[in-house]
Structure 1
Amino acid sequence: MIADLDGMYDPASYNDRLLLGLKGTMSEAELHVIKQRMLQGALQKARRGELVTKAPIGYVRSAAGEVQLDPDEEVQSFVKLV
Structure 2
Amino acid sequence: MLLSLINEPGTFTDLVRTANDNLVPAVVLNELLRKGIVETLESGHIMLRRSAYAPANELNAQPEADYDDTFGLHPPRRRFNDI
TM-score scaled by structure 2?
A: 0.22
Point out which structure has higher relative CO (alpha carbons under 8 A, 6+ apart): 2
Q: Larger radius of gyration, structure 1 or 2?
A: 1
Higher helix fraction (1 or 2): 1
